[in-house]
Each structure stands twice: as C-alpha cells, then as structure tokens.
Amino acid sequence: NAGVMQNPRHLVRRRGQEARLRCSPMKGHSHVYWYRQLPEEGLKFMVYLQKENIIDESGMPKERFSAEFPKEGPSILRIQQVVRGDSAAYFCASSPSGQGNNSPLHFGNGTRLTVT
C-alpha cells in the first residue's frame, strides 16, 4: 500500500517563476493537508482540503499561493512569482476522515523548493 507520494522531490526555481507541487494521498484517503517547514523551524499548517473543497486555508499567504484537490488526480500547491523567502520544504499529509483524534496524518517525504 503506497504511502503519500509527493513530487518532485527537489524543485529549483528562479525568482518570478511558478512552482507546482504535487501530492497523491494514500489510497482511500480523501483529506489532504499542506505544511511548510522553513529551515531550522517546525512545520506550519497552510491548508486543508477535501476532494474539490478547501476546508481551512487559514495558514495560506494571502497572495501568490493557491491549492486545489480535484475530483481526479493529485492535490496541487501552486506558488506564483516565487521569491527567495519561499525556499522551504513543503510537506503533504493525508487522512481518511479528517478526524485527527482517530486517524493520525500520514506524511509524504516532502518537496524541497529552492528559489535562486
């Protein structure tokens, strides 16, 4: 049973370009969470999605960042016009029910974005 799959593993972008990060949740999981980990820091929640719906985007920057989880295909985190401060590891996690008490999150190995 494959775990949470994220790609690419490493992504290098120049300032002003767009970054697209993909996440395929575990089989049977319909709840996806995105987190950002800045160097030497903990993970900060960004957004929580179910299929075709954004449930909680309280951690998303107001500009340049967007996320989707379509009916078919992976969840996408999109960063437009990247800046150096966007350099970080972005982790995706999934769960079957969105009820963390009984279904802990399963994390992917992350995408490490470097903006040059």
Partner 1 sequence: GNSVTQMEGPVTLSEEAFLTINCTYTATGYPSLFWYVQYPGEGLQLLLKATKADDKGSNKGFEATYRKETTSFHLEKGSVQVSDSAVYFCALSGGSSNTGKLIFGQGTTLQVKP
**What is the binding site for partner 1 (CB under 8 A)?**
4, 6, 31, 33, 35, 41-45, 48, 55-56, 91, 93, 95, 97-110
Q: Which is nearer to partner 1, 64 or 107 (CB)?
A: 107
Q: Which is nearer to partner 1, 28 or 42 (CB)?
A: 42
CB of 116 to partner 1, least distance (A): 20
* DSSP string for residues in the chain: ----EEE-SEEEE-TT--EEEEEEPPTT--EEEEEEE-TTS-EEEEEEEETTEEEE-TTS-SSSEEEE--SSS-EEEEE-S--GGG-EEEEEEEESSS-TTTS--EE---EEEEE-
CB of 15 to partner 1, least distance (A): 25
CB of 107 to partner 1, least distance (A): 4
